[in-house]
Amino acid sequence: MTPPASFLIDDADVPALRQTVANIARLGYSEDAVRERLDLNDLTELRWRALPSYRADRLAAREPLDLAIDLFLLQGALPADERDRLFNASDRDLLTGAGLLDVDRAGCARARASLFPAGGRLVFSDHAWPELPHPGLKPVPYDQVMFVGGDSRHLARGTSRRRVRNMLDLCTGSGIHALLAAAHSERVLAVDINPRAARCARFNAQALGVANLEVVIGDLFEPARRQRFDLITANPPFVPSPVDTLGFRDGGRSGEDVQKRIVAGLPHYLAPGGMAHMITELGERDQEPLVDRLRQWLEGAPMDILVLRLGEYDATTYAIGHAKGENYEEFLGSVDAWSGNLRAQGFARVAPVLVSFAWSDPACGAPWELMEEARPPKRDAGAEIEAVFLAERMARRPDLESILSGSLLRLAGPVALVDAQMLGRNLPANAKATRLGQALAVEHQLHPLEREMLRCAERGIAISELLASLEKNGIGKETVLAAAGSLLRKRLVCMDTTAAP
């Protein structure tokens, strides 16, 4: 039986590997191009059940880009003639020698690892669907390296991209987040407890010529040796699982074995002014806010917390999605085991979340936590996440009143405003607003006063004028300032001090 790709290469072959990857990139093999070719809104929508349709409907022309997508992303097989149209002899031999390509006696080629386009990088990792029929790639090994899927893409898009000195990537897997951060960091440290994952990340750094990335084998923060980092990312094992069969997936019966250790370590390793981002799933118990659990894991450290709740799965759906079985009886038994585990944890739901942390500013009051319902970002949203922290701090400043008094209130950008009135009931109108053109699509509930102020901000209005107008209607100064602060927090309005009268 042929083992999965080993992600090892001789130093002498590294220049040729870089050239081979560059040749694939020149075909147009990028995140946007592949998405458009497959007619997807986002690569997170890629589904294995649709593989035959992708090939028949979107890759029928069998151009070189089609062949690369079929081989490296859809886990397809290329006959000898297509293989030779995709690769020259040196590229083919290099990939075969590096254990990334299998060629059978008939000349048919299959990839032993996938090549994922993500955020301007091409990243090798194990297949997204290792259980699909493929000679030598079953059963799935415990040390399987996580593919670049929805979790990886959402974390990549939600990570701050400002320039930093030191960056730490925990549970690095293929190294995708470390590789992306290397473009805006002086030094990057990538850590994984799985030796095979560390080899994969190192291999990718070699393939892309990334010189400021160090990959080490270790248990979370242990190799960092009390260093402080300006940026920390983590995509840990988080599945609340009754089994322990996949190292990159299973996070213990609660799913929290690794993620709570990461959160507990942040106060000791995040530098002042730095940010940490973690993509994960958290089981939800009725009447228990998720942020309370995160605050407990921080053990009192004064950090601000932003939780973007990207969706939810009810416990039954979650159990069915993870259950396995060779036959129907085994499958039902697996569903029961997964469902029973979730019940034992008290989880009614499981929510995918993107969590960001930063040190609190004492001048802005006590540490805060905020949870927002958001659709998963389809493009870079790191700057918008930073803007949430800035807006919260601005709205909490003790001198906010004096700042507002000399400012115009303006819309922060185009806003979609929806008013809903229930007919037949004497109920107040329900207003919701969404900032358009943002990577993070968040729908905000509006108080009637906020709605009125938002309409005033459309033309720009001085706070002094707004106060005078609303005071005539019996609305006090403190109420108006509180509403202005709420709109600032929601990033629906901004203050313009340059145009103030």
Residues 173, 63 share a domain: no
Is residue 212's pLDDT more than 70? yes
Residue 137 lies in a domain: no
H runs (alpha helix) in 48-122: 51-53, 64-72, 80-86, 89-97
Distance, CA of 68 to CA of 24 (rounded, Å): 7
Give the contacts of 335 (CB within 8 A, at least 6 positions apart). Answer: 319, 320, 323
Distance, CA of 297 to CA of 266 (rounded, Å): 10
What is the average per-residue pLDDT within 472-501? 83
Is residue 40's pLDDT more than 90? yes
Distances in Å between the Cα of 356 and the Cα atoms of 379, 388, 473, 493 are 17, 10, 41, 23
Q: Which residue did the predictor score with more confidence, 467 or 181?
A: 181
Q: Name the nearest CA neighbour of 16 among 118, 69, 88, 104.
A: 88
Residues 318, 238 share a domain: yes
pLDDT, tens digit (0-9, with 9 covering 90-100), for 98-110: 999 999 999 999 9
SS3 28: coil
Count structural domains, the chain: 3
SS3 306: strand
CA-CA-CA-CA torsion sign (145, 193, 173, 171): positive
**Residues 373, 307: contact at Cβ < 8 Å?**
no
Residues 268, 156 share a domain: yes
Distances in Å between the Cα of 122 and the Cα atoms of 115, 174, 208, 209 are 6, 11, 8, 12
Residues 346, 432 share a domain: no
Q: What is the CATH number of the domain that holds 219?
A: 3.40.50.150
Residues 154, 104 share a domain: no
Q: How confident is the model at residue 428 (pLDDT cuts 50, 70, 90)?
A: low
Residues 185, 161 share a domain: yes
Q: Which of 335, 363, 393 is where one domain is finished?
A: 393
Residue 123 lies in a domain: no
Q: Which helix (H) or strand (E) holds 191?
A: strand 185-192
Where is average pLDDT lowest: 122-131, 221-230, 267-276, 467-476?
467-476
Phi, psi of 400 (to 5 degrees): -60, -40
Compute the mean pLDDT over every residue in the chain, rounded to the nearest whole number.
92
Is residue 423's pLDDT more than 80? no
- The pLDDT, as a whole number, for residue 421 is 59
CA-CA-CA-CA torsion sign (294, 300, 301, 303): positive
Residues 444, 322 share a domain: no
pLDDT, tens digit (0-9, with 9 covering 90-100), for 396-418: 999 888 888 888 889 999 999 88
Q: How confident is the model at residue 1 (pLDDT cuts 50, 70, 90)?
A: very low
Residues 372, 268 share a domain: yes
Q: How confident is the model at residue 480 (pLDDT cuts 50, 70, 90)?
A: confident
Residues 291, 385 share a domain: yes
Residue 99 lies in a domain: yes
Residues 71, 200 share a domain: no
pLDDT, tens digit (0-9, with 9 covering 90-100), for 196-207: 999 999 999 999
Distance, CA of 152 to CA of 157 (rounded, Å): 9
Residue 2 lies in a domain: no
Q: How confident is the model at residue 471 (pLDDT cuts 50, 70, 90)?
A: confident
Q: pTM, whole model, 2 decimals?
A: 0.94
Residues β-bridged to residue 411: 493
Question: Following DSSP, what letter does each residue of 159-181 receive, concatenated?
Answer: S--S-EEEEEEES-TT-HHHHHH
Distance, CA of 469 to CA of 56 (rounded, Å): 64
Supply the DSSP symbol for 13. Answer: G
Where is average pLDDT lowest: 15-19, 384-388, 444-448?
444-448
Residue 142 lies in a domain: no
Q: Which of 335, 359, 393 is where one domain is finished?
A: 393
Residue 266 lies in a domain: yes
pLDDT, tens digit (0-9, with 9 covering 90-100), for 55-68: 999 999 999 999 99
Residue 120 lies in a domain: no
220: left (phi over 0), alpha (psi -120 to 50) or beta: left
Is residue 139's pLDDT more than 90? no
Q: In percent, how much of the chain has pLDDT > 90? A: 78
Domain that holds residue 330: 150-393
Is residue 501's pLDDT more than 60? no
Is residue 338's pLDDT more than 50? yes
Tell me the chain's radius of gyration from C-alpha atoms.
25
Q: In percent, how much of the chain has pLDDT > 70? A: 95
Residue 87 lies in a domain: yes
Q: Which residue did the predictor score with more confidence, 322 or 403?
A: 322
Residues 352, 203 share a domain: yes
Checking DSSP bridges between strand 443-446 and strand 430-435, what pairing results, if any? antiparallel
Supply the DSSP symbol for 210. Answer: -
Residues 418, 371 share a domain: no
Q: Which of 344, 363, 393 is where one domain is finished?
A: 393
Phi, psi of 372 (to 5 degrees): -125, 140
Where is average pLDDT lowest: 79-93, 229-243, 484-498?
484-498
What is the average per-residue pLDDT within 155-169? 98
Q: Name the nearest CA neighbour of 80 among 113, 98, 99, 104.
A: 104
Is residue 136's pLDDT more than 70? no
Burial of 56 (0-12, 13-18, 19+ CB in 10 A): exposed
Q: How confident is the model at residue 135 (pLDDT cuts 50, 70, 90)?
A: low
pLDDT, tens digit (0-9, with 9 covering 90-100), for 254-290: 999 999 999 999 999 999 999 999 999 999 999 999 9
